[in-house]
A and B are shown apart, each in its own frame.
Chain A
Amino acid sequence: MNKPVPKIVLKGLKKRFGPKVVLDGIDLELATGESLVVIGGSGSGKSVLLKCVIGIMEPDAGTVLIDGEETTHLSPGERTRVMHKFGMLFQGSALFDSLKVWENVAFGLIQGRGTARTEAKEIALKKLAAVGLPAEVGELWPAELSGGMQKRVGLARAIAAEPEIIFFDEPTTGLDPIMGDVINDLIVRCRKQLGATTLSITHDMASAHKIADRVAMIYQGKIVWTGPISQIDRSGNPYVEQFIHGRAEGPIKMPVKVA
């Protein structure tokens, strides 16, 4: 029997900015419907990894395969086609200030897929309801919302076009623990409803425990450990141990300069 094609495959992904090596040969695979959470400290290359996978940034070397298709050097037209498979929740929500909340949620449908505005608005209001926001919120401007509400709107926007793959960039950063848990619950629920494959990056272990099937730890541009979330507390990996317990002492060195 043929092995199913993984949804996402990263092979030897490298990226550097000047002399600083950010990604140093990343290899990862995500099966269809799987939820992988990449954990790591600030500046470890998590965000760059995500941007290389989604195509916002071009890696210096290595390949990204989506459904078996190489996507690192696509033409703009082909890139748009692949983008239709993606949804993304940004760390700061990245809502468009100049558009109302419902227009933000419906943006990908109207601009990306040519859906009529009235139909797109109906879908947007349904997605807002799915993340626990009433229809009246749709008529507000993003600046009128709290951080937690902005995150929910960002999530509604990410799932509006019912993507096959959803990326979450630090979904709970900047939120209080309760709102963080609400967002985690919503992520789990949306993922189950859509059957989507998800790749998340976070340094919030509570969030990782809630949303991950599998965890990969990145340090100095390399994956130093990967395994099921159930095994993370007994991984035996010194990097993971230090990270999940938040210890200053250990193999992970923080670049702190003393004046």
Chain B
Amino acid sequence: MVPVLQPVGHALLGFLEATGRICLFAITAISHAVRPPIYPRLIIKQMIEIGYYSLPVVGLTAIFTGMVLALQSYTGFTRFNAESAIPNVVVISITRELGPVLAGLMVAGRVGAAMAAEIGTMRVTEQIDALTTLSTNPFKYLIAPRLVAGLIMLPCLVLVADLIGVFGGYVVSTANLSFNPQVYIKNTVDFVEPLDVISGLVKAGVFGFIVALMGCYHGFYSRGGAQGVGAATTNAVVSASILILTFNYAITEIFFSQ
């Protein structure tokens, strides 16, 4: 029995230790983010990096998701003569779930990996130690601006992704599925509620924080040269993706469970 339980116990202890370390890292980073000195120039730089440069990939993901959603809904709904529900399905799916989740995953792949690689390289080349010797707290200079930027910019990206995704559904429905454009827009606007959009934006804020946190955490504690930085990058993307999906369920429960 012991040989079976021992690895399970080791894995559990390892998981708990990692969770504790991440929580401590997050608390330290948040405490530095809300206390001066604050670096607005670095926050803006990170906002541009996370928001502006992620627009193409998030936009493309959103438009094709909206288009596919409309097509798939049509093939299913025609069996029940429920084609008129397509605008509703598209707008609800995009704003509540697909917009924030897909944008979060795409940003995790693009930005989380870049953060882990950049901070990891700074760690192994002693640039983070150099920051300390120059009287600059690495949490304030490196971590806090990224967390703040992630928290602010992912909701902005998701808002744009919502619009583009709904537009994708509109294009396919009106061009391929013979929907009346005015009716499609009216059905969309009438059906969507503020809570649908707000819940998606709250999710996006949480996901943005998670992506930045995982990128910074794995980069900050990377070890052992190029291989360590590579591992940090992979871990940042994988852990951020898993946490995004986990928190997506938890936030959905909070907003929509009866």
Contact = CB atoms under 8 A, between A and B. Distances in A.
B137 interface: yes
Contacts of B132: 54-56, 83
Interface in A43-97: 51, 54-56, 76, 80, 83-84, 86-88, 90-92, 94-97
Contact of A86 (B121, B133, B136): B133
B130 interface: yes
Contact of B135 (A56, A94, A96, A112): A112
A146 interface: no
Contact of B133 (A54, A91, A97, A113): A54
Interface string B107-141: 00000000000000110011101101111110001
B136 A94 contact: no
Contacts of B121: 97
B127 A94 contact: yes
A2 interface: no
Contacts of A96: 122, 127, 130
Contacts of A91: 126
Contact of A107 (B122, B125, B126, B134): B134
Nearest 4 pairs of A and B residues by beta carbon:
A112-B135, A108-B134, A94-B130, A94-B126
Nearest to A51: B129
A90 B129 contact: yes
Contact of B141 (A76, A94, A95, A111): A111
Interface in A215-237: none
22 contacts: A51-B129, A54-B133, A55-B132, A56-B133, A83-B132, A83-B133, A83-B134, A83-B135, A84-B135, A90-B129, A94-B125, A94-B126, A96-B130, A97-B121, A97-B127, A108-B134, A108-B135, A111-B141, A112-B134, A113-B135, A157-B134, A167-B133
B136 A107 contact: yes
Contacts of A107: 134, 136
B142 to A, nearest CB: 11
Interface in B24-62: none
Interface of chain B: mostly helix, strand, loop or mixed: helix
Interface in A82-141: 83-84, 86-88, 90-92, 94-97, 107-108, 111-113
Interface of A: 51, 54-56, 76, 80, 83-84, 86-88, 90-92, 94-97, 107-108, 111-113, 157, 167
Nearest to A96: B127
A61 to B, nearest CB: 22
A236 B243 CA distance: 62
A87 B133 CA distance: 7
B136 A92 contact: no
B223 to A, nearest CB: 11
B127 A80 contact: no
A56 B133 CA distance: 8
Contacts of A55: 132
A56 B125 CA distance: 14
A107 B131 CA distance: 9
B124 to A, nearest CB: 9
Contacts of A95: 127, 130
A80 B133 CA distance: 9
A103 B137 CA distance: 17
Contact of A111 (B122, B125, B127, B135): B135
Nearest to A86: B133
Nearest to A108: B134
B141 to A, nearest CB: 7
Residue with the highest number of chain A CB atoms closer than 10 Å, among B125, B133, B136: B133
Contacts of B130: 88, 90, 94-96
B44 to A, nearest CB: 14
Nearest to B135: A112
Contacts of B134: 83, 107-108, 111-112, 157
Contacts of B137: 76, 80
Contact of B129 (A87, A94, A113): A94
Contacts of A90: 126, 129-130
Nearest to B124: A92
Given A56-B133, A92-B126, A94-B126, 15 more contacts: A56-B132, A76-B137, A84-B135, A90-B126, A90-B130, A92-B125, A94-B130, A95-B127, A97-B121, A97-B127, A108-B135, A111-B136, A111-B141, A112-B135, A157-B134
